[in-house]
Amino acid sequence: MFGTPRDISDENWSIRFIILCWLIWKRRCSFVLASEVRRMEDILTSGDRVADRLAAKGRWLSNEPTVFLTAPDDVINLVEDDKVLSNLVRLPLGLSKVPGLYVQPPNERIDKENAIKLELPPIDLSKLDGPGHHEVAEQIVRAAETVGFFQVVNHGVPLHLIQSLKDTAHKFFGLPLERKAVYLAPVSPSPLVTYGTSYLPEKEKALGWKDYILMQYTGDDEALRYWPDEINGVLLEYMKSSIVMVKRLLRVLLENIGVKSDDSMIDVLIGKKMVAMIFYPICPNPDVTIGIGRHSDIGMLTVLLQDEVGGLYVKVEKDMDYEKKAEWIEIPPIPDALVINVADMLQVLSNGKYRSAEHAVRNTNINSRVSVPIFTMPIETAKIAPLPQVVEKDGIANYREFPFGDYMNNVFTNALDGKKSLDFAKIS
């Protein structure tokens, strides 16, 4: 009635079976942990240059080394001998308040209530080579002389590339921290690639609420070797087709100031290129932070791909039509368009005719945002001064002559401060 009598050896087997299962499970756990550890160890010891540099500096994310990542206040700091070398925003999931390091003084914030949207239609570059050339050239010139920013469509940069770049940027910034942290300036395998939060954290009053990876272009081979594998292919393709457009725009702008440019002149003027991918995480307190503080770009023309979130603002200057109406002009996202802005060197070459506008980016608490600027600039040894054709017409040079490399060094050793960068070149 009670079934087969209980066999003591059966019980033994079930106990053994349970122990065996437990052992397998435990072993599996330790295997998982070991593989995690091995992944860290790989980073440190695999013999590639990134690993060497990290290993030489200490164990990352460990407690003892001289260089390690700490996470007070949800900010990841790369620390050496108690000195913060670099830092980045940890994806602030669940963060309810921004850390104090990111709180901007009130005068550095963007007053969104005091801003207007720039409702100008984008410029259609497909008409530039046809009968509409004059009209389109005029639109480009007018924009460069007034706001210093404009948007272009039918620009020749493949749209699938633009979409793929936005996806790639989101994917890259979504990677585990250790995959990105290897590019932090103090340990990056190459000076051509740097990852961080603010360009000069030690000089800025407060950090920007963003992460960026900045890559210098010195040739395809080096880009493929040093730029992160996850992004180098699509970025290179995007950069190359954007440069074709930049050359067309530059020719129009130079021609308008009486300068006939040839390929060799253009090659000097935009011989240096930098590409950045920027990630602005969702921000719990967007009213007190800023993505990028007020600045102007240093080179000739910048091509900016912004996603659909928006947040790019240009400062209204005294002589602008908008002066009485607003302090900031918002450059709204337009599907498939690219944003172009005049940078400092073009302002100098044109003796101030083209405006390198002060701009900044705000954060939001709704969406994260990505943008991909390409900065075109002269080669470092190029001597920059207002072009003689313009000086002759104006009767005066508003800027002195300097090697572009000196200008760049000056910018990269000072905190962002609106258009102060141009003081370096101004003749007062």
Ligand X SMILES: O=C(O)CCC(=O)C(=O)O
The entry of ligand X, Fe ion, none that residue 304 binds, CB within 5 to 8 Å by partner kind = ligand X
Encode 166-177 in three state secondary structure.
Answer: HHHHHHHHCCCH
Within positions 312 to 331, which residues make up the interface with ligand X, using CB under 6 A?
Answer: 312
**Strand 75-80, strand 67-70: pairing:** antiparallel
The entry of Fe ion, ligand X, none that residue 306 binds, CB within 5 to 8 Å by partner kind = ligand X
Q: Return the C-alpha torsion angle 205, 85, 99, 43, nearest 10.
A: 150
Question: Please, how many CA atoms are within 13 Å of residue 46, restricted to the half-sphere of its CB?
Answer: 10
Q: How far is the CB of 212 from ligand X (least distance, A)?
A: 7
Q: How far is the CB of 307 from ligand X (least distance, A)?
A: 9
Within positions 249 to 308, which residues make up the interface with Fe ion, using CB under 5 A?
Answer: 297
Q: Which residues pair with 340 in a beta bridge?
A: 150, 303
Q: How far is the CB of 47 from ligand X (least distance, A)?
A: 34
Amino acid in position 154: N
170 to each of 74, 185, 239, 250, 302, how far by Cα in Å? 20, 21, 18, 31, 21
The entry of Fe ion, ligand X, none that residue 109 binds, CB within 5 to 8 Å by partner kind = none
CA distance 210 to 278: 7
Write the binding mask 227 to 266 for ligand X: x where contact by CB under 6 A, - elsewhere.
----------------------------------------
Q: Return the C-alpha torsion angle 196, 272, 339, 208, nearest 10.
A: 20
Q: How far is the CB of 373 from Fe ion (least distance, A)?
A: 6
> Between residues 359 and 419, which has the closer beta carbon with respect to ligand X?
359
Within positions 162 to 221, which residues make up the interface with ligand X, using CB under 6 A?
Answer: none
Q: What is the CB neighbour count within 10 angstroms for residue 139? A: 22
> Between residues 276 and 288, which has the closer beta carbon with respect to ligand X?
276
> Between residues 57 and 359, which has the closer beta carbon with respect to ligand X?
359
Q: How far is the CB of 228 from Fe ion (least distance, A)?
A: 22
Q: How far is the CB of 341 from ligand X (least distance, A)?
A: 8
Within positions 361 to 420, which residues make up the interface with ligand X, using CB under 6 A?
Answer: 361, 371, 373
> Between residues 289 and 351, which has the closer beta carbon with respect to ligand X?
289
| Binding footprint of ligand X, residue count (CB under 6 A) | 11
Helix/strand/coil for 253:
helix
306 interacts with ligand X by CB under 6 A: yes
Choose which of 211, 297, 307, 344 interacts with ligand X (CB under 6 A).
297
Name the packing angle between helices 232-256 and 159-173 (round to 10°): 130
Residue 357 tokens, joined: 């506008």
Residue 6 tokens, joined: 């209980």
> Between residues 253 and 276, which has the closer beta carbon with respect to ligand X?
276
> Between residues 208 and 386, which has the closer beta carbon with respect to ligand X?
208
Whether 213 and 114 have beta carbons less than 8 Å apart is answered as: no
304 interacts with ligand X by CB under 6 A: yes
| Binding footprint of Fe ion, residue count (CB under 5 A) | 1
Q: How far is the CB of 112 from ligand X (least distance, A)?
A: 15
Q: How far is the CB of 236 from ligand X (least distance, A)?
A: 19
Name the packing angle between helices 8-45 and 49-57 (round to 10°): 100
Q: How far is the CB of 302 from ligand X (least distance, A)?
A: 7
Residue 226 tokens, joined: 């040093």
Within positions 264 to 293, which residues make up the interface with ligand X, using CB under 6 A?
Answer: 276, 278, 292
CA distance 175 to 164: 16
Encode 287-310 in three state secondary structure.
Answer: CCCCCEEEECCCCCEEEEEECCCC
Which region, judged by CB under 6 A, interacts with ligand X, from 23-31, 96-104, 246-254, 304-312?
304-312
Residues in touch with ligand X (CB under 6 A) = 276, 278, 292, 297, 304, 306, 312, 359, 361, 371, 373
Residues in touch with Fe ion (CB under 5 A) = 297
